[in-house]
A = this chain, B = another copy of it.
Amino acid sequence: MKLHRVRVLHRERFGDHALIRYRWTGPPPEPGQFVLARSAATSHALDPFLARPFFAHDHENGTTSLLFEVRGRGTLLLSEVAEELLVSSPRGRGFEVQGGPVALVGGGVWAAPLKLLSRRLEHTGVPHDTYIEVPRNAPNDYAVWLAQGYPGARFVHTGDTAGAPWRLFDEIGDLARYSTVYASGPEETLATTKKVSEGRVAAQLALRETMACANGSCYGCAVPVLGYDGAYYARACIDGPVFPAEALAW
């Protein structure tokens, strides 16, 4: 996989969330596409071994941004030691944008790709509402910080217990007023989106399946989907990471 050395222009932390902006003059990312990233400073080291996949959070004027949770070693290194990054070109199949009105449904930091999507919708004049789930136990100003990225979004404070996404959809109300729901969030939010949209509204889900090669070679990012002749494993990195909800054999 070809990784390009790029300069980090901006770096921001909020609790265990990080925002990074870097200079990118290659092909601009489509909404829902992802990039692989690793810290250039530690590229001589063989651990962490794999680059980390992140949705393109935003892109404007030759600047791409990533919004991510600091979970383990890879994201910690990215958030701390990286004047320069090694990043791939934007990859995969993103959201398909048709008519509106549409709903964007996100969960916390994992709403990342919805920002670029809303920019696109804005640009193409598709009416859209954005709902972002914030766990009740998040720090007070978390929603405020997050809101900077999603002007006009509605922040829904859900419980941190199971069932949270259902509360989110209670808030959203009748889905039939939208032509498509675009979702990016915790697994439970994606699963709930699939359930509530079934038979009512088209839904597109941004998956975060673990990846290795990110180019279709390794078959590591298997997602069970329904094909013409039954279920099979698609590859999230090239067939996704965005899938129509009805295609998923969950």
Contact = CB atoms under 8 A, between A and B. Distances in A.
A44, A48, A76: which has the most chain B beta carbons within 10 Å? A44
A45 interface: yes
Contacts of A80: 41
Between A41, A76, A77, the greatest number of chain B beta carbons within 10 A of the residue's beta carbon is seen for A41
A41 B81 contact: yes
Interface in A30-86: 41-42, 44-48, 73, 76-77, 80-81
Interface in A2-48: 41-42, 44-48
Contacts of A76: 44
A33 B247 CA distance: 66
A48 B45 CA distance: 6
Contacts of A77: 41-42, 44-45
A72 to B, nearest CB: 8
Interface of A: 41-42, 44-48, 73, 76-77, 80-81
